[in-house]
Amino acid sequence: MPIVEEQVAVTVTLPRSVVNHIGASAGRDNHTVEEELRSLIGLALALEGEPEELAAKAEREYAGHLAATGNERPTTEELWEQMRRVREEVANELYPE
Amino acid sequence: MSSIRNELVALDTNQFVFAVRRDPAHPFCRKLLFERIGELRIFVPREVIRELRRNLIPSELQAALAPLRRAVELLWDFGGPPEETVSHFRNLGAKKGDAIIAAHLDASEIRTLVSENRHFLNEIPNLPFRVISAESVLNDLG
């Protein structure tokens, strides 16, 4: 189960061009600039660490998540169904009718 | 040298999900992402990143993306395809989500999508990219 950590406010100074770029990217995705920055930092952090260790940790945490929520491990077909649903949700967010 | 090593290839969302979840029906996804990704040039469209955030818990997302730094080349594309290209694929009968992915790959001149979805846009003739499975990529890599 994801852990809700304490949140800390941080102020950073960035070049105007970088902020403009982030703002444009956030606008395309209907994000706030803060959400976009969180996302970018998260992606950068995801590229740190040994993949096999991270995979093992993820498996432990996912097992814990299932136990905490009382859910069974989804079947392959259930994963397909979830991925199909998410694809259309994201599409509707990116390109609202 | 295998041609797949020489081009940017896109990985569909299902490659990451099946790899991280060790899906028993799709064992080659795990092998490709964790053992052979270092032989490929990878393109990741923003739609896939957003979908992964929804399909995986945070530690799984980190585990899914971490192997990518081993790729020969890694291109994150946070832009989006032109709406007219999306419309083109929708008019051909694609679902909205699939149309956006197809448009993004087409606009970025990506010619290979690695996906376990054998039916991905198979109703559309003359797709500008091929759709191949992780197993096919592994066979191509030798």
Q: How many angstroms away from the CA of A12 is the closest CA of chain B?
A: 22
SS3 B119: coil
Q: What is the pLDDT of residue A86?
A: 96
pLDDT at A79 > cutoff 90: yes
Q: Which burial class, exposed, middle or buried, applies to B32 when counting CB atoms under 10 A from its CB (0-12, 13-18, 19+)?
A: buried
Q: Please name which of B99, B92, B88, B71 lies closest in space to residue B11, comparing C-alpha atoms.
A: B71
- Output the average pLDDT for chain B: 93
Range of lowest pLDDT (A3-12, A68-77, B86-95): A3-12
How far is the CA of A79 from the CAs of A87, B14, B94, B106, in angstroms?
A: 12, 9, 21, 27
* Predicted-complex ipTM score: 0.94
| Element housing A59 (H / E) | helix A51-69
pLDDT at A7 > cutoff 90: no
Interface test with B, best of A18, A20, A31, A83 (most B CBs within 10 A): A83
> What CA–CA distance (Å, rounded) separates A57 from A49?
11
- Chain A interface, Cβ < 8 Å to B: 2, 25, 28-29, 39, 42-43, 45-52, 54-55, 57-59, 61-62, 65, 76, 79-80, 82-84, 86-95
Give just the sign of the alpha carbon dihedral B43, B30, B102, B100.
negative
Range of lowest pLDDT (A72-86, B15-29, B82-96, B110-124): B110-124
Q: Which residue of B has its CA nearest to A24?
A: B79
Q: B98, A87: Cβ pair inside 8 Å?
A: yes
- Chain B residues within 8 A of A45 when measuring between CB atoms: 62
Higher-confidence position of B136 and A23: B136
Q: B66, A48: Cβ pair inside 8 Å?
A: yes
pLDDT at B37 > cutoff 60: yes
pLDDT tens per residue, range B65-109: 999 999 999 998 888 899 999 999 999 989 999 999 999 999 999
Q: How confident is the model at residue A5 (pLDDT cuts 50, 70, 90)?
A: low
pLDDT tens per residue, range A10-61: 888 888 877 887 787 777 666 788 877 877 777 777 667 889 999 999 999 9
pLDDT at A2 > cutoff 60: no
Interface test with A, best of B33, B59, B87 (most A CBs within 10 A): B59
pLDDT at B38 > cutoff 60: yes
> What CA–CA distance (Å, rounded) separates A82 from A92?
15
pTM of the model as a whole: 0.85
Hey, is the C-beta of B88 within 8 angstroms of any chain A C-beta? no
